[in-house]
Chains A and B, each alone.
Chain A
Amino acid sequence: MLRSLSLALLSTVLIPTLGLAEPLKNYSPVTQERLSNPEPENWLMAKGNYAGWSYTPLEQISASNVKNLRPVWSYSTGVTSGHEAPPIVNNGVMYVATPYNQVIAMNAKTGDSVWRYKRDFPEGFSAFHYTNRGVALWGDKVFVAGLDCRLVALDAKTGKVVWDVEVCDWTQGAYITSAPVAVNGKIMIGPSGGEFGVRGFLKAFDAETGKEAWTFWAVPTPGQPGSETWPKDGRWKDAWKIGGGTMWMPGNYDTKNDVLYWGVGNGSPWLGDQRPGDNLYVASVVALNPSDGKIKSHFQYHWNDSWDWAAMNAPTLIELDRDGKKVPAMISAQRNGYLYRLGRSNEGQISFLDARPFVKNTVFTSVDPKTGRPTYDLAGVPGTGRAGTYCPSVWGGKDWPYESFNPKTGMLYVPFNDNHCMKYEGKIQERIPGQWSAGVDITDIKLLIDKDVKYIGGIQAIDANTNKEIWRDTYAKSWMWGSILSTATDLIFTGGTSDRMFRAYDGKTGKEVWSFKTNSGIISPPISYAVDGKQYIAIVSGWGVDSALVQGIMADEHGWEKDIPQGGTVWVFAVEDDQATGKRAETGSGIK
């Protein structure tokens, strides 16, 4: 009880230090110009830039010195559950979001905490996943979205709440895990809840006032374009109201042409036969106008989704070499197990270029080379009262973790999971607000993995120009839950395995060149930044959520290690060039 009391008293209370900490005395306001052209030393948004590259132009840490990479500081968040937020860094100050919607501001050089924002949810609160995928920056504010469906603006210097607005209704099963995205003074965010009958949307709010600017509904209202792909009458005429299509990951932004590209999640309930039709914009990428949220175009990866193959990951914005010219394009390893290349025009029109499987997909019998529309093997389509067996399982060929694109080499690095399938039979489930109503009970979903499976998780390195795989690394005893960071020096960094390792690879060959065992499994994206001219690599280690759930299944059914330690820790690494003298970097707190 004493613990409850102290927690209650601490909730939403800030823990400021006396006076402003060093990096905050001259806090650099975040402008559109800075977000469009982020300085190499900063990591201003979840994927590092609007194109979604998860790439650092910094060049100090390279193949020749990576063996000397050492932790220079770490920081325990004191929070359990899955830590999925990358550190966000702006000129020497680091912001880390944690499960339970806390934000910790730290001195990025020393690891000293500057302020901490805590939140207490209402009594009886529920959310399917208690994770958070990071903050957004704009002006002198930090934005964090909440499991309790609130978008909160904090003063970047003090952590004080500037505004706090409602985005969705948690009592109906909606919850927010996504990092918000800041574009032109608006903060964009969408909730999760595709297993709870939530109709997906993206909302934009004014960064200064919190006033709502627009809403884009991922399932169109009857009469709107796209609504013709939903049942108009009969038993399923109201399917659109609970149709899913939640937009639960940050989108990408074409700064030159002012076009947003956002991913749309799975259909709800999972059974496509409970919402006959193609079901736009479920399992699609949509191009939106950031000023008013109006749709410009879309591409649907697969119609009438019945597999929970959510397309929440926006495609990575790249350019392809075509006849000696650079052509704007997009590339995306999707949850359905196919790797897509798409065209994008200056006007935001999306076109299909090609698609190929990057893991085993047992459902698609063909993909139309002109339109990208797949045909299905009905044995792989679960229905109401009809079992379907399909690969990949709900966790997909690639789940939410970020792929990485290295613009210097044209390589795309994909964290993937293969050789896992699923069987389930659907039913009609009463929708009880706040309870899972995906059309199948969690106890009736069977994950199917061969006993002698050679691997599940891994990394694929793909040449974006040729679409060919160059190398892969595979994990015999682990799924892959980690995002990837690529560097200008042709290294990649990633975690994601159940052995708690943080690894660096040679980007060209796939050879592992460095590793470090952290406190827990890593499911947050690695990032890089620099302070006072010194490059750092940062990661938050904190296993949980789906990685822990699947690990439990693997332990029970395949004898894998059961208990992966939980609890979040921020780790920051640098090349210790002063090793010879035995001097540590300046991370002391001045207590001596």
Chain B
Amino acid sequence: MSDETTQAPCPCECAATGWPRRDILTAAIALLMAPTATVLAAGEPGAGAPPARAPNPKALRPQPGDRFAYLSGENKDKPVMAADIKIGDPPRLAYPVDPATETIRSGSRVNQVLLIRTDPSALTPATAPRAAEGIVAYSAICTHNGCPITLLDGDNRSVVCTCHGSRFDLADNGAVLTGPATRRLAGLPVAVADGFVTVAGAFTGALGAATSQ
């Protein structure tokens, strides 16, 4: 097994990162599930839990200001520049990178992000505020069976998981267009700074496929 899974600690590591209310609730529940993990910030639900241990930076969810690095191919580990992404290009699969330490956050598979550029005028109101110059970012992990999504559809705004054919509209909040997936892809707010695509917020929904029944 690769260290992607063995190094991934509990999901509550994201709790100290100033996430919105919905994610704090997720973190609180996560804390219930794994009471020995990272302490939450003072004043947040769950304060007073056992002492903190240092979060694994590789497994932290994307942090505001993070850049991106390609996760495969000849540009693997190299930075994703905004100018590299054009309308009609296949999705760029990437991991977030801490720009200070250059740590690639590949310690958890749900950190895999896909980036495409769309026509900014096509973006719905739910999507436009978290796009930058038409570039949108989403969790790359299909919500059906968990395959990374790699194919752009002919409309230049939706993507197809080539494992089972689920389609998601990236101009409309990751909505499911075709099953078998039933849950939308979580978005990730992005910005462009010094030519780099950067993270501008937290994932907007649940990540990955169901892990049990």
Does B associate with A?
A: yes
Interface residues of A (CB under 8 A from B): 1, 4-5, 7-11, 78-80, 99-100, 102, 118-130, 149, 166, 169-172, 430-436, 441-443, 548-549
A122-B5 contact in complex given A430-B73, A432-B150, A435-B148, C-beta closer than 8 Å: yes
* One of B78-86, B120-128, B162-170 contacting the partner: B162-170
B212 touches A128 (CB 8 A): no
Complex: how many Å from CA A1 to CA B163? 27
**The 8 nearest A-B residue pairs measured at CB:** A126-B146, A124-B109, A124-B110, A121-B211, A120-B212, A124-B208, A436-B162, A122-B5
The residues of A that contact B151 with a CB separation of less than 8 Å are 441, 443
Q: Let me know if B32 is at the binding interface, CB within 8 A.
A: yes
The residues of B that contact A442 with a CB separation of less than 8 Å are 160, 162-165
A171 touches B212 (CB 8 A): no
The residues of B that contact A100 with a CB separation of less than 8 Å are 212-213
Apart from the given pairs A11-B211, A126-B209, 8 other A-B contacts in the complex at a CB distance below 8 Å? A1-B26, A124-B146, A125-B109, A130-B145, A171-B1, A435-B147, A442-B160, A442-B162
The residues of B that contact A123 with a CB separation of less than 8 Å are 8, 11, 108-110, 207-208, 211
Report B74 CB to chain A, min CB distance, Å: 9
B163 touches A128 (CB 8 A): yes
A79-B29 contact in complex given A123-B8, A123-B109, A124-B146, C-beta closer than 8 Å: no
A1-B147 contact in complex given A80-B213, A124-B110, C-beta closer than 8 Å: no
Q: Let me know if B119 is at the binding interface, CB within 8 A.
A: no
Report B93 CB to chain A, min CB distance, Å: 6
Complex: how many Å from CA A120 to CA B213? 8
Report B26 CB to chain A, min CB distance, Å: 7
The residues of B that contact A8 with a CB separation of less than 8 Å are 33, 212
Complex: how many Å from CA A170 to CA B180? 21
The residues of B that contact A169 with a CB separation of less than 8 Å are 1-2
Report A194 CB to chain B, min CB distance, Å: 13
A432-B33 contact in complex given A120-B211, A166-B1, A442-B164, C-beta closer than 8 Å: no
The residues of A that contact B110 with a CB separation of less than 8 Å are 123-124
Q: Let me know if B56 is at the binding interface, CB within 8 A.
A: no
List CB contacts (< 8 Å) of B187-213 with chain A.
207-209, 211-213
A126-B1 contact in complex given A5-B29, A121-B211, A436-B162, C-beta closer than 8 Å: no
Main SS class of interface, A:
loop
Q: Let me know if B142 is at the binding interface, CB within 8 A.
A: yes
Report B101 CB to chain A, min CB distance, Å: 23
A441-B162 contact in complex given A11-B212, A124-B141, C-beta closer than 8 Å: yes
The residues of B that contact A149 with a CB separation of less than 8 Å are 1
Tell me how many residues of B have a C-beta within 8 Å of chain A.
39
Report B34 CB to chain A, min CB distance, Å: 9
Q: Let me know if B133 is at the binding interface, CB within 8 A.
A: no
List the B residue with the shortest CB-CB distance to A172: B2
B165 touches A128 (CB 8 A): no
Q: Let me know if B89 is at the binding interface, CB within 8 A.
A: no
The residues of B that contact A436 with a CB separation of less than 8 Å are 147, 162-163
Report B53 CB to chain A, min CB distance, Å: 19
Main SS class of interface, B:
loop
Q: Let me know if B25 is at the binding interface, CB within 8 A.
A: yes
Complex: how many Å from CA A119 to CA B212? 7
The residues of A that contact B36 with a CB separation of less than 8 Å are none
The residues of A that contact B209 with a CB separation of less than 8 Å are 125-126
The residues of B that contact A119 with a CB separation of less than 8 Å are 212
Q: Let me know if B4 is at the binding interface, CB within 8 A.
A: yes
The residues of B that contact A79 with a CB separation of less than 8 Å are 213
Interface string of B86-114 (1 = CB under 8 A from A): 00000001000000000000001110100
List the B residue with the shortest CB-CB distance to A127: B145
B1 touches A435 (CB 8 A): no
Please list 8 pairs of residues, one from A and one from B, whose beta carbons are closer than 8 Å in the complex, sorted by A's number.
Answer: A4-B29, A119-B212, A123-B109, A126-B163, A128-B147, A171-B5, A432-B150, A433-B72
A78-B213 contact in complex given A128-B163, A549-B164, C-beta closer than 8 Å: yes
Report B141 CB to chain A, min CB distance, Å: 6
A99-B213 contact in complex given A441-B151, A442-B162, A442-B163, C-beta closer than 8 Å: yes
Complex: how many Å from CA A430 to CA B90? 12
Interface string of B19-34 (1 = CB under 8 A from A): 0000001100100110
Report A570 CB to chain B, min CB distance, Å: 16
Report B104 CB to chain A, min CB distance, Å: 15
The residues of A that contact B163 with a CB separation of less than 8 Å are 126, 128, 435-436, 442
A124-B33 contact in complex given A1-B25, A434-B148, A435-B163, C-beta closer than 8 Å: no
A126 touches B145 (CB 8 A): yes
List the B residue with the shortest CB-CB distance to A442: B162
Interface centre among B2, B32, B73, B164, by most chain A C-beta atoms within 10 angstroms, is B164
Complex: how many Å from CA A442 to CA B163? 7
Complex: how many Å from CA A118 to CA B209? 17
A1-B1 contact in complex given A121-B211, A436-B147, C-beta closer than 8 Å: no
The residues of A that contact B108 with a CB separation of less than 8 Å are 123-124
A125 touches B164 (CB 8 A): no
Complex: how many Å from CA A130 to CA B148? 16
Complex: how many Å from CA A149 to CA B1? 9
Complex: how many Å from CA A11 to CA B8? 18
